[in-house]
Each structure stands twice: as structure tokens, then as C-alpha cells.
Structure 1
Amino acid sequence: MALVADLAIAWASGNQDTLEQSLVDAPSWHHFGPDLPAVAPTHAVVLGAINHGRSASCDGYLDFAEGVQPQRARFSHVFTFTSMVKTAKVKEIRTYLVEES
């Protein structure tokens, strides 16, 4: 489950190196909800992470600097791995976002 949380934090911080190490070459990534601000969040929190077989998910929130809208965004990621081995890479991600004012 740590991998799932690490991927969420890498996504939030824009850490492409970490993402690329854990994803297949051409992952399917679907995004539902508004686009995030073009600035990095000041705080990223993963509230929970679960995995079962080839699937995993996590949820949490991102806080942004004062004056940036939204002030907070909630996220949920659903991951599908290529197999059930611990070294499997992510082949699909569905990201859901909800803004808070």
C-alpha cells in the first residue's frame, strides 16, 4: 500500500521520475473533474490506501497557497497493475478530483 501512497504524492508534487519508474511506458490515465491549479500544492495528504490483487486505490487532499483557487482539492486514484507481483507496474489510472473553496 505504500507504493500507492507514494504514487499519489509523486503525482501531487509533479515528481515525474518516481511516476515513470512505476508506470508502464504508455499508461492509460483518465482524469475526471476540474484541472488542478498550475502551482504545486503546499500540502498533500493521503488519507487511505487499499489494494486487492491487480487493483489499488487511495484518496486524500491537496492544499494550495492562500489566494489560489481552489484552496483545497480532494482526490481519489484507482490503479490497475499489470500483474499481482510486488514489482508490477501500473498500466491504468483513473483520477477523480473535487474542488473545495
Structure 2
Amino acid sequence: MEFEIPENCGNSPRMLIVAELARAWGEEDRSHLDDWSEPDASWTVHPGEVARGFTKLWLENVVTHGRVGSCDGVAVRPDGSRVHFAHFFGFTSTAKTAKVRRVTSYVVPAGAAL
């Protein structure tokens, strides 16, 4: 999968962690997601689960502060259709090695109304 991140993602370790979590979501890299998640972590997707299998994923913004981080972007499927997404991550602490406790995601096909 082709993956692009904003240039400023190298400004903090947490920004890179959030970007890599988004990449792992897009690639369905369960191992990476499990490595960074607490055993009882929750992940809620609104309005519901979305089939992945993306060929390209790019992040438009990555923001972190304290125990939280978020990112938004666009993912492209093999048929060329696009999905817009935003992920909000809650970490167990402010340490750069802190694991994810919860994630809330909003995933909407391009052109869809909520």
C-alpha cells in the first residue's frame, strides 16, 4: 500500500506513532495494532465497519497533545473509490511508549452524507 504522511510528522515521536497506527489500520496489520494496544483496548467505528484493502492511504493532518492523538485522511480502494477517515486515539499515559486504550474512528465513503 502506498502511504503518505504530512512533512511535520517527524516533529514528535507521538505523531509518528499515530501515523503508523493509521497505516496499520489501512493495511490491516493486526500485529502492529496489537503491539501498540492494551489487551482491553476498544475501537469504535462510526457509522460502522468499512471494508479495507486499500491501495493508497494519505494523512492530511496528525495532531497530538498529552494522552491523545488524532489523524485524518483519505484512503483509496483498488477500484479507485475513496474513503475519508478520522481516527482519535487515547493513550494510557503521555510516555512515548504508552499503549492505546481506546480509538474512535469516523469512516465515510467519498460523496456519502451522514
When normalised by structure 2's length, the TM-score is: 0.80
2:87 aligned residue (62, 69, 77) = 77
Q: Partner of 2:54: helix, strand, or coil? A: coil
Residues 34 and 98, structure 1, Cα contact 8 Å, conserved in 2:
no
Moved over 6 A (4+): none
Q: Deviations over 1:61-84 (max 9, x none)?
A: 110112x7xx10000000000001
Counterpart CA distance in 2 for 1:79 and 1:24 is 12
Counterpart CA distance in 1 for 2:73 and 2:24 is 13
Counterpart CA distance in 2 for 1:35 and 1:73 is 12
Is residue 10 from structure 1 mapped to residue 32 from structure 2 by the alignment?
A: no
Counterpart CA distance in 2 for 1:11 and 1:18 is 9
Q: Deviations over 1:13-56 (max 9, x none)?
A: 0001111110001111111024323x511111111101000011
Counterpart CA distance in 2 for 1:65 and 1:40 is 7
Q: Hey, what does 1:52 align to over in structure 2?
A: 65
Counterpart CA distance in 2 for 1:50 and 1:75 is 14
Counterpart CA distance in 2 for 1:81 and 1:100 is 29
CA shift, 1:94, in A, is: 0.1
Aligned amino acid, residue 24 of structure 1: E
Aligned length: 97
Counterpart CA distance in 1 for 2:19 and 2:89 is 11
Aligned amino acid, residue 29 of structure 1: W
Aligned amino acid, residue 102 of structure 2: E
| Percent identity (aligned) | 33
Q: Which runs of 5+ in 2 are unaligned?
A: 1-14
Counterpart CA distance in 1 for 2:21 and 2:105 is 12
Counterpart CA distance in 1 for 2:101 and 2:49 is 22
Q: Hey, what does 1:41 align to over in structure 2?
A: 54
State the Cα RMSD in Å: 1.3
